[in-house]
Amino acid sequence: MSLSMYQASVPVFIRALTNLSTILKKGETYAQARKIEPAVLVNARLYPDMFPLTRQVQIASDTAKGCASRLAGQEPPSYLDTEQTFAELYARIDKTIAHLKSLKPAQIDGSEERAIELKMRDRTLHLKGQGYLFDRSLPNLFFHITTAYAILRHNGVEIGKKDFLGE
């Protein structure tokens, strides 16, 4: 039995975002227990020229909804990047997961050769569906989720590999 494009994308995105939400909740609990202003963690960065935690979550969300939508032949929904609290980050993740769950396997399966046009700031990429998923979207998703994890861990949140991988 072969792996379908739907199986390789939507369930993977949902699991990764669900685990990200769990990691964020541990960060919020950590801040509350230690009387740390939550904004400190939400705005934390690994290095001054890197994006803060909020942006890492936004990009992970954008990557998942963008890839799944494009593979389904749809325009991705647009979300404003205004989240500034843990609650707002959870809401964004929940909204993204709801969108992913609205997509059906029949919309995505068979998209291996679908032409994907990805507009970047300085160029437009022309990709095929399979390459877009495996060479661009999945690595990008996990890069930003890993960075969010690292920001929280660097700031003392007691999370580990099991939190990143989930149940």
What would the pLDDT profile of 52-74 be if each residue is shown by its tens digit? 999 999 999 999 999 999 999 99
What would the pLDDT profile of 83-141 be if each residue is shown by its tens digit? 999 999 999 999 999 999 999 999 999 999 999 999 889 999 999 999 999 999 999 99
For 103-156, give the DSSP string. S-HHHHTT-TT-EEEEE-SS-EEEEEHHHIIIIIIHHHHHHHHHHHHHHHHHTT
What would the pLDDT profile of 19-43 be if each residue is shown by its tens digit? 999 999 999 999 999 999 999 999 9
Pairwise CA distance, residues 109 & 100, whole Å:
14
**Does the CA dihedral 153-158-161-165 come out positive or negative?**
negative
pTM attached to this predicted model: 0.96
Domains of the chain: 5-103+114-165 (1.20.120.450)
